[in-house]
Amino acid sequence: VKAMKKQPIPEKIGLSDNALQVLEKRYLKKDKAGKAIEKPEDMIRRVARTIAAAELIYDPKCDVRSIEDEFYGLMARLEFLPNSPTLMNAGRELGQLSACFVLPIDDAIESIFDAVKHTAMIHKSGGGTGFSFSRLRPEKDRVGSTGGVASGPVSFMRAFDVATDVIKQGGTRRGANMAILSVDHPDIERFIKAKQTAGVLTNFNLSVAVTDAFMEAVRNNGEYELKNPHNGEVVEKKKARDIFDQIVNLAWKTGDPGVVFIDRINAGNPTPQLGKIESTNPCGEQPLLPYESCNLGSINLSKMVKSNGKKTIDYDKLGYTVRTAVRFLDDVIDVNKFPLPQIAERTRQTRKIGLGVMGFADMLIDLGIAYDSPAALDTAEAVMGFIESESHKASEELAAIRGTFPAYDGSVYDGKVKMRNASCTTIAPTGTLSIIAGCSSGIEPHFALCFTRNIMDGTKMVEVNPYFERASVEGGFFSKEMMEKLAGGAHLEEFANVPEAVKKLFVTAHQITPEGHVKMQAVFQKYTDNAVSKTVNFPANATVADVDKVYLMAFDDKLKGITIYRDGCKADQPMSTGKTE
Ligand code: ADP
């Protein structure tokens, strides 16, 4: 692996109060009384040391201390962070380091409840689980052994939901699940409506797996067949438009269900010889084979800007960060303690990693580029294109030393290029990581410039986006009163003393058109091996037709899936944006 440029290691990590609170609550080691017994610096050292130990497998004489320092520096400078389970569990008893899992569910009681148990084990360690329920026979179908009738996928989902509820009381964080049902399953309408009652399946995101043929039929006003997965019988024919309308209607109402374009996901399956991909992880960014897991990590783009008179992207630093991060994530696989032997085996066969970004919106502001401008799309193209190609180069370099991933023969890379990892890039939401790093989350625009945070003793404090604070102080229009009004829901446009250029630059999520959100997601998807987590925001007064248009646009723009959020709709998502924690 290429020579590493020495980077300074900070003595203290530049954490905000909020980041410290999050770390103390859930990440740092505690004593029996619940008091933190390690500092953030100790946590990062624990992680760096545990992960770097993997290097000894490949070269027992390597300078493991210097690699540990490279890893430590990357995290201590908040330039790169691995997913939460790695921070929480590395070097500790659990030792489970991955965020994303997919478990198979077969049409048998034993298989279903094995999966419930495995889900509990994964949630205990902070991982999230995705499942396809498509193999289960439909509700009211006959059950051979008892002569009774089947409960169907939606009923069984409740068992997973309750198990998740129970586990969260003892675990590190509330568990999260993705449930997928194929659009041609006879229970599809029941599934689409499954979350419409308040308080039901609150630990689940729902996505309908739609095929290309189904999308074709929606466009041509055609019909398609519902099939019983148990015996392959065609049960019914449906108008594709009717089902699509129901999906869109309910997504408009509550945000659920999303859709995944399952044929496109499988067209991008790097190891088709191992079987089909049928589900993603909870937030949709990581398609996986049954029993496969993946560890993610995110580069903080707000730290990748250099200034010599003019601000530009520091590609040298970014290249170094990508290479070191790929090596880190590949090492994670070797020291990971997997929750099940099947998961260990599958994951080690493909060695998927998911390197992504956070702080993209911060970086744009630093560069003086508005999120909803053509220049922002160009920047996304340049940055993610670079990360994608550098990460593949790094994986190739690792393959030359450590060998290809074991399932390389028959993979899409076979005979073309030797790779250490079947996939390298994923854009995660970075809900908590972005709080720790103090940057904007994932590739999302800023949600607000100011917001009110409840402090523990009951007082409230207005928090101002640091880039906006700087701009308003330098521009001479800073006032406490304005920040309070903004935190209360006022828009920047209402303030006459704020220059037009500032208003344009500090555009927030709700001012960006849904089409603008999709366009940004599409650019990132183009350069991402796995998928992209992105919320497409709609204003409260958006119509069902607006949502319909965007779901179709997502298909045309080659996304792997889409979820939307209409302001004020009754969404009950298991994932928190972190803003209220
Ligand atoms: P983080 O910032 O904590 O690393 P992300 O918000 O980037 O996590 O989410 C990445 C993935 O981690 C999710 O898609 C999911 O698989 C898993 N995950 C996140 N939050 C949870 C949770 N509360 N419970 C279980 N899994 C989670």
- Residues 6 or more apart whose Cβ sits within 8 Å of residue 483: 450, 462, 464
Confidence of residue 575 (pLDDT cuts 50, 70, 90): very low
Residues 183/210, Cβ–Cβ less than 8 Å:
yes
Which tokens in the block code for residue 316? 């040298």
Is 285 designated active site?
Answer: yes
C-alpha distances (whole Å) from 89 to each of 26, 65, 126, 165, 328 are: 11, 21, 9, 21, 15
Residue from 397, 362, 360 nearest 382 by CA: 360
Ligand 1 centroid–CA 155 distance in Å is 25
Rg (C-alpha) for the chain, rounded Å, is 24
* Distinct helix (H) and strand (E) counts, the chain: 21, 19
Q: What is the full DSSP assignment across 9-46?
A: PPSS----HHHHHHHHHHTS-B-TTS-B-S-HHHHHHH
Cα 46 to middle of ligand 1, angstroms: 21
Kind and range of the H or E run holding 153: helix 153-168
Quickly state the pLDDT bin for 571 (edges 50, 70, 90): low
The 10s digit of each residue's pLDDT in 423-479 is 999 999 999 999 999 999 999 999 999 988 776 666 778 889 999 999 999 999 999
For the stretch 378-408, pLDDT in tens is 999 999 999 999 999 999 999 999 999 999 9
Q: Is the dihedral of CA 282, 286, 291, 293 positive or negative?
A: negative
DSSP assignment, residue 357? E
Give the β-pairing of 279-280 and 287-288. antiparallel
In sequence order, what are the beta bridge partners of 234?
227
- Map tokens 């796995």 to a residue: 530
Q: How far is the CA of 538 from the centre of ligand 1 (A)?
A: 23
First to last CA, the chain: 40
One-letter amino acid for residue 127 of the chain:
G
- How far apart are the C-alpha atoms of 435 and 580, rounded to whole Å? 11
pLDDT of residue 7: 79
Q: Which of 75, 281, 425 most suits a substitution to test ligand 1, by most atoms within 8 Å of the C-beta?
A: 281
Residue 458: CB partners within 8 Å, gap ≥ 6?
none
Q: Token pair 């039901």 is at which residue?
A: 200
> Does residue 47 sit in helix, strand or coil?
helix
Is 569 in the active site? no
> CA dist 388 to 49, 55, 148, 354, 527, Å?
27, 24, 52, 11, 6
Q: Is 294 in the active site? A: no
pTM beyond 0.90: yes
- Is the peptide bond preceding residue 257 cis, with omega within 30 degrees of 0? yes
Closest by Cα among 355, 386, 361, 380 to 521: 380
> What is the rounded CA–CA span in Å between residue 195 and residue 189?
12
ipTM confidence: 0.91
Cα separation, 343 vs 278, in Å, equals 16
**Could you say which of 89, 281, 421, 465 is catalytic?**
281
Instruction: Please report the pLDDT score of residue 438 as a whole number.
Output: 96
List pLDDT tens digits, range 170-220.
656 778 999 999 999 999 999 999 998 888 999 999 999 999 999 999 999
pLDDT, one tens digit per residue, over 156-169 is 999 999 999 988 75
Phi, psi of 561 (to 5 degrees): 180, 170
The β-bridge relationship of strands 353-358 and 204-210 is unpaired
Which atom of ligand 1 has the smallest separation from the CA of 433?
2
